């Protein structure tokens, strides 16, 4: 299999790597197990010092690693630098808060007495080596939002990154090493997806986290279930963006454009299905399509570029198939919809209207700058359309009506509901989904406790 940097703006293969063999993989598994035995006993202060150093180094490397990410997967370079800055922020947040989040918990005195104990508490202890199977679309952020809490909890990490971002994957191992983490605390495994199953079955690996496709999630969950190992899965998303009559239409349309094309439209939490109340549908559609059409598409290394190429030729072909299927089914194309001439895997920002349940794009995730537009007669129909999806990652709602806010929070099937703004992830807020978007949570206190042994400690009277 190929582990290589292929520039999506040109299609040129820039650097190729050989996959690690069984001997090197075994060496790294042994090292992870040995390192965990001592690293687990380090203090929160020691771990925080190393993680803060990693954040400082990442800030220093921001421009360089930004260019690497853009070269490997095509995101506009300004967005790549912002991703690096976000990672440093998350590292600092966990360095500052992990000890508090994992502090011993003591039940109420009456409950302790009722249990027959003189003292009882709950303690969070690390599990051991955790395998992370990560995607290419946010090649730094997806890894750091796992690694920062896992390392602060006393676990060690094994990263199997996407095969098209090997330079970013190797950078991450080097970053944690330079920050002073013991050798073996965080290791990159340059392996193909076919090697994941054997590693997950290894008794030294205690848990796994995966961000990626539904088929990949099923495969990891099946093996982990057979081996009875904890997993966290963050899979696909087809997030609704609901606009009600009380919304600020100009602002909603402006944010809708950004929410759809962030990261060249290749984001699980990008808004993809735009569900607009009939009273404001046409006015919103006009503003939204105009905003999408005005975006600057081009070389992702240029500062002014807003949308770069898709990360792979296959990804563009998949997107084209969804658009063509919708067009054959009667959808109208308000803008975009045609592959541009020239090199690179570019696709224009596209808005499709008149979507029906029979179209593939209604059920499948469009992983690129393609938006689908729906008309809803009222709040009930808006909720119905929003929930008519196999996914349930996040959601966006634009309304100034508090009664509507309560209804959407109650009824939307999603891991998050963002009002009058676009979905975003923050270290202090839990992140994850329901339905086929996966299970478990990343970030916040919920995320750091996912890979902990929640231990009851009981002392007799």
268 annotated active-site = yes
Q: Which residues lie below 8 Å from residue 279, measured CB to CB, with a gap of 6+?
A: 245
Element at 159 (helix H, strand E): strand 156-160
- Could you identify the residue written with the tokens 């002392």? 459
Any idea what the Cα angle at residue 13 is, between residues 342 and 310, rounded to 5°? 50
In a 13 Å sphere around the CA of 152, the CA atoms on its Cβ side amount to: 33
Q: What are phi and psi of 454, to 5 degrees?
A: -80, 100
3-state secondary structure of 45: helix
**Within a 10 A sphere around the Cβ of 307, how many other Cβ atoms?**
26
Helix locations, 128-241, DSSP H: 141-152, 166-178, 196-201, 214-227
Given 72, 87, 173, 268, the catalytic residue: 268
3-state secondary structure of 314: helix
87 annotated active-site = no
Given 33, 83, 234, 404, the catalytic residue: 234
CB 134 within 8 A of CB 105: no
Q: How many residues would you count in the chain?
A: 461
Provide the token pair at 8.
């999506």
In a 13 Å sphere around the CA of 137, the CA atoms on its Cβ side amount to: 19
Provide the token pair at 97.
């808060």
3-state secondary structure of 44: helix
Query: Which residues are identified as catalytic?
Result: 234, 268
């Amino acid at each position: 299999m190929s582990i290589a940097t292929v520039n999506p703006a040109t299609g040129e293969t820039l650097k190729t790597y050989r996959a690690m063999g069984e001997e090197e993989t075994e060496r790294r598994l042994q090292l992870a197990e040995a390192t965990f035995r001592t690293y687990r006993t380090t203090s929160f202060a020691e771990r925080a010092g190393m993680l803060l150093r990693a954040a400082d180094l990442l800030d220093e490397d921001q421009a360089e690693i930004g260019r690497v990410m853009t070269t490997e997967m095509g995101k506009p370079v300004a967005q790549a630098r912002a991703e690096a800055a976000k990672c440093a922020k998350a590292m600092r947040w966990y360095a500052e808060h992990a000890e508090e989040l994992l502090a011993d918990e003591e039940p109420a005195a009456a409950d302790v007495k009722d249990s027959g104990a003189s003292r009882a508490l709950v303690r969070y202890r690390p599990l051991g080596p955790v395998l992370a199977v990560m995607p290419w679309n946010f090649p730094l952020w997806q890894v750091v939002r796992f690694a920062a809490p896992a390392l602060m909890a006393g676990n060690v990490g094994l990263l199997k990154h996407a095969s098209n971002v090997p330079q970013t994957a190797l950078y991450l191992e080097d970053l944690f090493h330079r920050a002073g983490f013991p050798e073996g605390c965080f290791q990159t495994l340059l392996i193909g997806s076919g090697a994941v199953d054997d590693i997950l079955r290894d008794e030294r690996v205690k848990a796994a986290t995966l961000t990626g496709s539904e088929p990949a999630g099923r495969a990891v969950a099946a093996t982990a279930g057979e081996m009875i190992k904890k997993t966290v899965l963050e899979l696909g998303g087809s997030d609704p963006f609901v606009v009600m009559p009380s919304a600020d239409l100009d602002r909603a349309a402006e944010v809708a454009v950004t929410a759809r094309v962030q990261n060249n439209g290749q984001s699980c939490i990008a808004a993809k299905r735009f569900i607009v109340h009939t009273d404001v549908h046409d006015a919103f559609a006009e503003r939204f399509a105009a905003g999408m059409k005005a975006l600057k598409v081009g070389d992702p290394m240029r500062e002014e570029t807003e949308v770069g190429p898709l990360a792979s030729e296959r990804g563009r072909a998949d997107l084209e198939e969804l658009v063509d299927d919708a067009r054959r089914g009667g959808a109208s194309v308000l803008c975009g919809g045609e592959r541009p001439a020239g090199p690179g895997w570019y696709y224009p920002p596209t808005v499709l209207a008149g979507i029906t349940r029979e179209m593939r794009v209604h059920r499948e995730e469009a992983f690129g700058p393609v938006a689908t537009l729906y008309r809803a007669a009222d709040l009930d129909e808006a909720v119905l359309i929003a929930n008519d999806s196999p996914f349930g990652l996040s959601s966006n709602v634009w309304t100034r009506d508090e009664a509507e806010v309560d209804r959407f929070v109650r009824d939307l099937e999603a891991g998050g509901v963002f009002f009058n703004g676009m979905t975003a992830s923050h270290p202090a807020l839990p992140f994850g989904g329901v339905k086929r978007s996966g299970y478990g949570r990343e970030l916040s206190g919920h995320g750091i406790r996912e890979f902990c042994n929640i231990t009851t400690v009981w002392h007799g009277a």
